[in-house]
Structures are given as structure tokens and as C-alpha cells.
Amino acid sequence: MNEQVEKVPTSAAILIVEDDASVASGLVTGLKNVGFRVELATDGVTATRRALSGEFALIILDLNLPERDGFEVLEALSGRVSTPVIVLTARTELETRLESFALGAVDYIPKPFWMEELVARIQSRLRLRQDEPHRVIEWANVVVDLDARTVNLDTKPVELTSHEFNVLAYLVERPDRAITRKQLADNALPESGSRYGRTVDSHMCRIRNKIGDDASEHIKTVWGVGYKFLPVDPSS
């Protein structure tokens, strides 16, 4: 790796998933040197949990990982977060490249690599995301920006935790459908041993309290099942 990289102004958060200490150190140092905020995960389970938080602008993913390989990480993230993933691996065979793209990777860089090229690809991908219109859902007096991960109530920001936002986003992206507690837990919450039932209900209770009564009227409890989001005024 060549670390002679020109600094560029950016503060985007990047999740690096790499178990090789030498490679990880070079990536962390190189990306911090050009201004990125960086977090390192060294196994697939930790990577999945952190990626599902939705806190990162981009993920750099190795494929040969302990506990859960890169393909399994891509599968776990598919349909749950929109964070772009760049695969960075020593594996060069065509089948591996095609499988990575099929599972949702947006780019594929074989090792060894040039830091300049990696930074250029990251910046290119982030520029593409900036140019894309944000996915925004509005109802009552609430505006949810799914890409910026923000919620506003009467134009004022609502402070949701990462888990609360994930639960709300998963629900409002699927209007007029009864979503089970298990679906919410499986798709919106990090993997853990105690994420069903009361855990989902606790998150939903806090969400309703934070967005107010008018907006909460659109989130209905489906007894014995879970929850349903009604974008149209349920009383109309």
C-alpha cells in the first residue's frame, strides 16, 4: 500500500472490516490521514452489528473473516441498511466478484491495492450518494429522512436512538401492512439473545412518546401480531 495520499476535506464515517492487523492498521491510518472518521471491526459478527446501526457512510469489507465471512455479512445487511459496501479482498476469482455484487457490494478492489485508488473510489461513491434524492416519508407533523437518518417534528429535530430509528424506518417504509414483532426485531435491531416482544414494544413506546400524539395515531398496534403504519389519517 502506498500511503502518500493528498488530504481531502471530508468527515464521513467509514466502517473498516478487516481481521489482518497489518492491513487494518494501514487502512485506519490512511483513511484518517485524509480526514475520514474510522471505526474498525475485526470479525463478521461485530461488523454486522455495527453496520446495522446505520451510523456509517460507507463500509470497507474483507471477505475472509472469523466468526462470519464477508458473504454472510453482505447477506445479513441486504435489505436492512442502504450503506454502500466496497469489498477489499485478496480473492481475485471472477466467481467471488460476481457473488459479492449479487449480494449488494457496490465495488470490488483486490489486494494488494493503492491507497490513492481506494480513497478515490470512496469519494466517488460518496459523491453519488450525495447526488441521489433523499428518501423522505412525511405524515401528520413528522418528517423522516431515511438517508440522513433524521426525524423532525414540526421542523424541530427529534432525538431517536439508532435502534429507535431503525424500528421506525422499517415500519414506515412498509405502510398499511401488519409487521410482526419478530420482523421488526430481525430486520431493525442488532443481533442479540433478547430482542423480541418486550424489547420491540419498549422501543415503540419511546418512539411514540417522542413523536407526539398526532403522529403516533398513525402507528397502530395490531394485537397479537405487532404494528402497522397508516400514512393516511386513520380517522378520515
State how far the alpha carbon of 206 is from the alpha carbons of 40, 103, 129, 188, 215, in Å: 30, 34, 30, 15, 13
Q: DSSP secondary-structure letter at 2?
A: -
Answer with the residue of higher pLDDT: 145 or 109: 109
Q: Flag whether the pTM goes above 0.95.
A: no
Answer whether residue 199 shows pLDDT above 90.
no
What is the residue-averaged pLDDT of the chain?
87
Nearest to 50 by CA among 60, 39, 61, 63: 39
- Domain range annotation of the chain: 13-131, 136-229
In which band, very low, low, confident or very high, does the pLDDT at 4 lie, cut at 50, 70 and 90?
very low
Average pLDDT over residues 205-213: 92
Average pLDDT over every residue of 97-113: 95
Answer for the pair 161, 204: CB distance below 8 angstroms, yes or no. no
| Backbone torsions φ then ψ of 94, nearest 5 degrees | -60, -40
pLDDT at 9: 42
Query: Options 3.30.1330.60, 3.40.50.300, 3.40.50.2300, 3.90.870.10; which CATH number does 13-131 get?
Result: 3.40.50.2300
DSSP string, 39-50: EEE-SHHHHHHH
CATH topology of domain 136-229: Arc Repressor Mutant, subunit A (1.10.10)
**Tens digit of pLDDT for each residue in 124-180?**
988 887 766 667 889 888 999 887 788 999 989 999 988 899 899 889 989 999 999
- pLDDT at 13 (0 to 100): 92
Does 187 score more than 90 pLDDT? Answer: no
Confidence at residue 3, expressed as pLDDT on a 0 to 100 scale: 45
Percent of the residues in the chain that have a pLDDT greater than 70, as a whole number:
89
pLDDT in tens, 40-93: 999 999 999 899 887 899 999 999 999 999 999 999 888 778 899 999 999 999
pLDDT of residue 67: 92
Give residue 94's pLDDT.
Answer: 96
